[in-house]
Amino acid sequence: MRGGKHLLLLAVLVVSARCQQPKVSVTPNITHLGIYSGDLFYLRCESCSSPVRWYFNDGAQAETSERYKITVAHPGHSGFYQCECKGQKSERFDLSVRGYLPHASLTIATGQPVMQTGGSVILHLENEGGLQGWNCWVYRGKDNSKKIGLRLKDNESTFVFQPNKLEAPETTFWCTDRNQNNRSNQVTVRTSGKRVSLQTCPLPPVAGDNLTLRCFVCGKDEFINITFYQNNTAIEESSSVTYNFSHVTELVEGSYKCSAKFMHKAPTVGSPYEEFSDEQYVFVQVTPVKANGSFKYEPPVVAVVIALVIVLGILSAAVVVYCYRKNNVTGPVYVELALGS
Ligand SMILES: *[C@@H]1O[C@H](CO)[C@@H](O)[C@H](O)[C@H]1NC(C)=O
Ligand SMILES: *[C@@H]1O[C@H](CO)[C@@H](O)[C@H](O)[C@H]1NC(C)=O
Ligand SMILES: *[C@@H]1O[C@H](CO)[C@@H](O)[C@H](O)[C@H]1NC(C)=O
Ligand SMILES: *[C@@H]1O[C@H](CO)[C@@H](O)[C@H](O)[C@H]1NC(C)=O
Ligand SMILES: *[C@@H]1O[C@H](CO)[C@@H](O)[C@H](O)[C@H]1NC(C)=O
Ligand SMILES: *[C@@H]1O[C@H](CO)[C@@H](O)[C@H](O)[C@H]1NC(C)=O
Ligand SMILES: *[C@@H]1O[C@H](CO)[C@@H](O)[C@H](O)[C@H]1NC(C)=O
Ligand SMILES: CC(=O)N[C@H]1CO[C@H](CO)[C@@H](O)[C@@H]1O
């Protein structure tokens, strides 16, 4: 029967797709919780090693590593992503970024978004509906996210806790309710061995807000001037460690860094020397809009499908053998983390 034949071919397709076809996934695994403005995550091309080609809405991207980093998510990142390696292209991965923040809020109570390596921050979690059953998670850029168990006394709506010391270059925190239906925004803390660091608000400013950039300098007494840079162009040099934007617009969006001019201690040495901070990208949220996330289905050309099916049919036997040998990959396991405080 015709239908039966098609079904068989479909089964063959599924088997071979499972083994060979690359697949786009998200780390840390937050997709089931919704992706919101300001999130940091990686799109990963599973069963691929670099070089990888990435596509966003069918457009080729510059990224060639297995991981495609989204540093500060915004609705403009919504669409479909595909990765390709060794001539194999993944299925479309639909990503929808909400143009607003979750109800529950996580903020830095003590510390800054950029800390010295080995430093620690104190975080403040708040949810109007109470925090019973809530836990937090930490992602350090590698491996899997780890759980931070919160020792909540009762159903309070705010909680303050201190995660472990910051050793990774980039550490991301967020919290979820018991059933993982709701979550907080993320807080990302970076570490830097540099003496100069630029601090911005951890959440992207909404158009119309005021925004303060702050240049932190270790060894305060010896620096003379601070320079702020926007997209590598100096925008201000003065003795002030802050730079303010009032009523930000999209035009403020860009890459920022600052530098401090230091004077040599010895009285005979003349000219000052300059040290730069790392760059921070500032994204401005325009009016909170719901992401579109619509999936456009384009029916494939029948002839191409038939040709593909025949080719895959020939290959399937070899593929099945290969699969049985190689299919011992396990899913990520979340490790419970004892809390220091
Ligand atoms: C991501 O998390 C969801 C819900 O906990 C789970 O069903 C899914 O298998 C996870 N995905 C991966 C790739 O671990
Ligand atoms: C926790 O407190 C909130 C109000 O603060 C209330 O709406 C909610 O029902 C409480 N949950 C439990 C499990 O007691
Ligand atoms: C510091 O900045 C001021 C402008 O605010 C400038 O006049 C002065 O020359 C700068 N000093 C140095 C050492 O660059
Ligand atoms: C920027 O704003 C902050 C607080 O709103 C203020 O303390 C600071 O002096 C301002 N900086 C400048 C350069 O105006
Ligand atoms: C923003 O800054 C201006 C001064 O530059 C001030 O008048 C205004 O109150 C500030 N707005 C907010 C929301 O802080
Ligand atoms: C800075 O560069 C980014 C990316 O190239 C661009 O989108 C943005 O408009 C630039 N911002 C400014 C203020 O020039
Ligand atoms: C949402 O999608 C529809 C049709 O696909 C389009 O007309 C509309 O402009 C989109 N809206 C946004 C906010 O992207
Ligand atoms: C406080 C809050 O946002 N609660 C939501 C948690 O998730 C459930 C299910 O998605 C919603 O119904 C609640 O409103």
Tens of pLDDT, residues 155-186: 899 999 999 999 999 999 999 998 888 999 99
Q: Which atom of ligand 4 is nearest to the CA of 240?
A: 13
Overall average pLDDT of the 36-45 stretch: 92
Q: Using a 6 Å cutoff on CB, does residue 132 contact ligand 2?
A: yes
CATH code (residue 154): 2.60.40.10
Assigned domain for 235 exists: yes
Q: What is the pLDDT of residue 224?
A: 84
In sequence order, the 6+-apart residues with CB closer than 8 A to the CB of 275 are 194, 195, 196, 259, 260, 262
In the structure encoding, which two tokens stand for residue 175, read together?
A: 């919290």
Asked whether residue 7 is assigned to any structural domain, the reply reads no
Question: How remote is the CA of residue 293 from the centroid of ligand 7, in Å?
Answer: 9
Answer yes or no: is the C-beta of 25 below 6 A from any ligand 1 atom. yes
**5: pLDDT strictly greater than 70:** no
**In-domain check, residue 264:** yes
Per-residue model confidence as pLDDT tens digits over 101-125: 898 999 999 988 888 889 999 999 9
Render pLDDT for 70-101 as a digit per residue (tens, 0 to 9): 988 888 899 999 999 988 999 999 999 988 88
Instruction: Answer whether residue 313 is part of any domain.
Output: no
Q: Is the CB of 129 under 6 A from ligand 8?
A: yes
Residues 96 and 56 in one domain: yes
- On whether both 219 and 287 belong to a single domain, the answer is yes
Looking at residue 292, what is its pLDDT? 37
Tell whether 287 and 211 lie within a shared domain.
yes
The confidence score (pLDDT) of residue 19 equals: 55
> Is the pLDDT confidence value at 233 over 50?
yes
Same domain, 244 and 157: no
Distance 292 CA to ligand 7 centre (A): 6
Is 162 a member of any domain? yes
Regarding whether 147 and 201 lie in a shared domain, the answer is no
Q: Residue 119 class from Cβ within 10 Å (0-12 exposed, 13-18 middle, 19+ buried)?
A: middle
**Residue 185 lies in domain:** 106-193
Which ligand 1 atom is the nearest neighbour of the CA of 331? 14
CA 240 to each of CA 152, 229, 272: distance values in angstroms, whole numbers, following the listed order: 41, 14, 17
Confidence of residue 328 (pLDDT cuts 50, 70, 90): very low
Instruction: Tell me: do 152 and 204 sit in the same domain.
Output: no
**Residues 84 and 167 grouped into a single domain:** no
Q: Kindly report the average pLDDT of the chain as a whole number.
A: 80
Lowest-confidence region among 73-77, 277-281, 282-286: 282-286
Q: Which atom of ligand 2 is the closest one to the Cα of 157?
A: 5
Question: Looking at the structure, do residues 200 and 180 belong to the same domain, yes or no?
Answer: no
For 196, phi then psi, to 5°, come to -120, 130
Specify whether 237 is located in the same domain as 212.
Answer: yes
Dihedral-angle region of residue 111 (phi above 0 means left; psi in -120 to 50 means alpha; beta otherwise) = left
Q: Which of 82, 101, 120 finishes a domain?
A: 101
Q: Please report whether residue 179 resides in a domain.
A: yes
pLDDT at 27 over 90: yes
Domain boundary pick from 264, 291, 318: 291
Total structural domains in the chain? 3
**Among 92, 88, 113, 74, which Cα is nearest to 17's?**
88
Residue 125 to residue 108: CA distance in whole angstroms: 9
| Verdict on whether the full-model pTM lies above 0.75 | no
What strands lie across the sheet with 158-161, from one edge to the other?
Answer: 105-110, 122-126, 158-161
Which atom of ligand 5 approaches the CA of 209 most closely? 13
Q: What is the pLDDT of residue 294?
A: 36
In a domain, 6, yes or no: no
To test ligand 3's pocket by mutation, which of 225, 238, 271 has the most ligand atoms within 8 angstroms of CB? 225
Q: Are residues 117 and 57 in the same domain?
A: no
Task: For ligand 4, say whether the CB of 244 is within 6 Å of any of its atoms.
Answer: yes
My answer on whether 120 and 137 are in the same domain is yes
Per the domain annotation, does 321 fall within a domain?
Answer: no
Q: Are 112 and 159 part of one and the same domain?
A: yes
Residue with CA at minimum distance from ligand 6 atom 3? 254
For the CA of 131, the nearest atom of ligand 2: 1
